[in-house]
Every structure is written in C-alpha cells, then in structure tokens.
Homo-oligomer: A and B are copies of this chain.
Amino acid sequence: MLHIDYRDSRPIYEQIVDGFTRLAISAVLTPDTQLPSVRQLAIELSINPNTIQRAYTELEKRGVTYSIKGRGSFISADCDTLRQTRLAELQADITSLAHEARQLGATDTMLLHWMQVQHTKEGGQP
C-alpha cells in the first residue's frame, strides 16, 4: 500500500504522510476509509509504532485524516480541497523555478518543451 525508501534522506514519518496524502488526493482512498491501525502498519512496514503515530498525528493536523480514540484513523472528506492546496504549492514552486531558469538564459520555447505543453496553434489537450 505504501512505499518507504530507507535510503531517502527525508524522514520516514514524512514519507508516510506524503504517501497517504497522495492516496487521498488521487481518490484511491475515499473519505471515511479506515487507515491501517498504528500497530498493524508498524508491523507491516517493520517500523516503530511511534514513528507511525507521529505520521498519523501529522496527517490529522493537516486535515487529511481524522481519528477517533479506540476506533481508528479515517480519511477526511475534503479531498478536492487537498487537490487545491497541492496545486497552490506546485504553482509557487514552478513559478520560482521558471523565473530562475529564465535568468539563466532559458527561453520560452525551452520551458514549454520541458513542461511538454502542446503548443500547436489552437491546440487543446488530446
């Protein structure tokens, strides 16, 4: 269900947070779907339950999930909101990188090619 890369420099709990966030954004996990329990996922991934707990706490604080003591953790309802949030982040990043690239001599044509934009005249998306 989740892929953890131990060689990745990013902390494990962050990879778990990202993983579930992606699953929620892409609607693979629909609202009110129950996540695996802290202990179960810990065993499954051979990771300390504390680390899983930290990831779940973070997910709840970000509004991706909600949890009920004694019952479990569940995907939150606002899936589309997450999409918008992520898109806003992407916009900020892309704008910044494009600005730097342009300062280094990149042309519009290069940028369009990098982003694989269909630049036919009245072109839509096939």
Contacts and interface: CB of A to CB of B under 8 A. Distances in A.
A98 B117 CA distance: 9
B87 A108 contact: no
The range of chain A's interface size is 35 or more
Interface in A72-98: 74, 83, 86-87, 90-91, 93-95, 97-98
Given A6-B68, A7-B66, A108 B94 contact: no
Interface in A45-80: 66, 68-71, 74
A53 B81 CA distance: 31
B115 A94 contact: yes
A95 B115 contact: yes
A106 B6 CA distance: 31
A43 interface: no
B7 A68 contact: yes
User: 3 tightest CB-CB pairs across the interface, nearest first?
Assistant: A98-B115, A90-B101, A124-B126
